[in-house]
Amino acid sequence: MTDQELPNGFTGFSRRKPEGFVSAHDAMGGRSPLTDGPGAFGARPRTAASAAPSAYEAASAAFGDGAEAAFQYARDHARPDEGGPAQFDPDKLRLIPALDRRWAWTEVDLNAVRHNVTAVKQRLSAGVRLMAVVKADAYGHGAVRVAKTALNSGADYLGVATVDEAIELREALVNAPILVLSQPPQAAIPLLLAYKVMPSVYTPDFAIQYAETADAYGMRAPYHLAVNTGMNRIGVRHDEVVEFMGQVSFHRALDLVGTFTHFATADSTETLDFQIQVKRFIEAVSALNVAGIDPGIVHAANTAAAVRFPDVHFDMVRLGVGLYGLHPSPVTRPMIDLRPVMSVHARITDVRTVPMSEGVSYGMNYRSPGSVKICTVPVGYADGLRRGLSGRTDVILRGQRCRQVGNICMDQCMFEVDMRTYANRQKLDPQIGDEVLLVGREGNSIVTIDDMANTLGTINYEVAIGFGHRMPRLYV
């Protein structure tokens, strides 16, 4: 065999070539038999090619752009029917579920989203709106599905961090008002207007450019004014809002539809800094009113403030972390019943008995006591299972907690199953294919995103977002 005949290492097929077989490459003089015509292969490849657009579209929708390349590969390497070996049908390949391609996934409980929206809404006075904050792909939970569920459950507004996050929602046919919670670059202004996405505004340059572009298209330029009351991240200084409005409000297209600030310490037991921000914000809004400027929808509260301080609900609250069933701090935990939305699942991909004192994983920091089975699951730090959790988190197998052991690798990690018998414990018999939980509850065993955040010395927000990047997501 020469390298040219076997370019990709799949040597087994060469023995099974039917009589008179001509390779696709040779038959087409190097062209693709499917994209450039039937060539030597008769009707079948053409059929596959004619079905191609729908398969590509569906595959891309389900799995992203990578799928398109993969199926084009399968199509380009299709082999003839008659007398030959079995064919790969790209449309069938597409149907192999994401959860069978890799045994790791997150589950997103949309009923829990609904519960959390309802629980917060119940605390709002009539007429107070609720913004569902779905930035960062809904904190790793999937922005489109979460946004639609939140809106169906009574949310009125959506908050995102970037223009592209807003566009994703619009392209998924979400029609609610969307506020970008920062001021985008001026070059993005046509996108805001074309997709009807409101910016947060705090510089006169941006405001005027936004207004002039809107005017040129015969549109209004709605925006929310960001007020800096002490967090010192974005916004017009609390005591300069009237001056700011004086600089921009001459422009006829500009529409101030909301005025907001953001709290730096709403989750903290110490409330002095919070009270200062509240006072400054109320003064800024009054100053606008006194100057004859309607501040529009006044909003300030994130989850922590919405749960703890009804006085700062104003006209709208912005529900972020609470939407996902996570508490912004221990302070809110006894105050409201929230249901966690995300759980993290995997199936065991390998099981072995490791002799006593042999190491497991990179560095071999962990040594087998000999009385355990070591199980592998295909979840690693590239999936959000942070390496800092190595040896410091548990995996739930059949309702029992098992210690994760050895360093967490990029794409896999190991856990131990104690094979000794105890009086009142059901002995486990782990098998390849068994499902485990890395985050979630089964029976009396529970591992939470908060547990992981505490162990890591970070916040639950960051851990949740980490699990949103590579694992397929199952909505339940």
Ligand X SMILES: *Cc1c(COP(=O)(O)O)cnc(C)c1O
Interface residues with ligand X (CB under 6 A) are: 133, 135, 181, 262, 302-304, 318-322, 328
Name the amino acid, one letter, at 328: P
Instruction: Give 224 or 373: the residue with its C-beta nearer to ligand X.
Output: 224
Residue 344 or residue 464: which is nearer to ligand X going by CB?
464
Q: At what angle do helices 65-76 and 43-50 cross, to 10 degrees?
A: 170
Instruction: Sort strands 254-260 and 297-301 into parallel, antiparallel or unpaired.
Output: parallel
Please give the Cα distance from 156 to 177 (Å, whole number): 8
Q: Which residue is nearest to ligand X (CB)?
A: 320
Question: In whole angstroms, how close is the CB of 159 to ligand X at the nearest point?
Answer: 6
Shortest Å distance, C-beta 33 to ligand X: 52
Which residues neighbour 327 within 8 Å (Cβ) at sequence distance 6 or greater? 303, 321, 333, 338, 450, 460
> Which H helix or E strand runs over 140?
helix 135-140
Structure tokens, 314:
């104003």
In the complex with ligand X, which residue's Cβ is closer, 298 or 346?
Answer: 298
Minimum distance from CB of 230 to ligand X (Å)? 14
Q: What angle do CA 201, 205, 211 make, to 5 degrees?
A: 70
Helix, strand, coil shares of the chain, percent, nearest 5, are 40, 20, 40
Catalytic residue among 135, 157, 210, 461: 135
**301 or 375: CB nearest ligand X:** 301
Enumerate residues 6+ apart whose C-beta is below 8 A from 437: 343, 344, 345, 395, 396, 447
Q: How far is the CB of 195 from ligand X (least distance, A)?
A: 20
Q: Nearest 5 degrees, angle CA 19-CA 22-CA 27?
A: 155
Alpha helices in 220-322 (DSSP H): 241-248, 272-290, 303-308
182 vs 400, beta carbon nearer ligand X: 182
Separation CA 29–CA 23 (nearest Å): 10
Query: 92, 217, 279, 362: which one is catalytic?
Result: 362
Q: Shortest approach of ligand X to residue 262 CB, angstroms?
A: 4
CB of 303 to ligand X, least distance (A): 3
Shortest distance in whole angstroms from residue 267 CB to ligand X: 7
Q: Could you tell me how far CA 268 lies from the centroid of its own chain?
A: 27
Supply φ then ψ for residue 437, to 5 degrees.
-115, 130
Burial of 5 (0-12, 13-18, 19+ CB in 10 A): exposed
For residue 401, what is the enclosing H or E element?
Answer: strand 400-405
Q: Which is nearer to ligand X, 182 or 361 (CB)?
A: 182
Active site residue 135: yes
Q: Which is nearer to ligand X, 329 or 404 (CB)?
A: 329
How far apart CA 181 and CA 160 sit, in angstroms, is 6
Query: Is 300 strand, coil or helix?
Result: strand
- Catalytic (active-site) positions: 135, 362
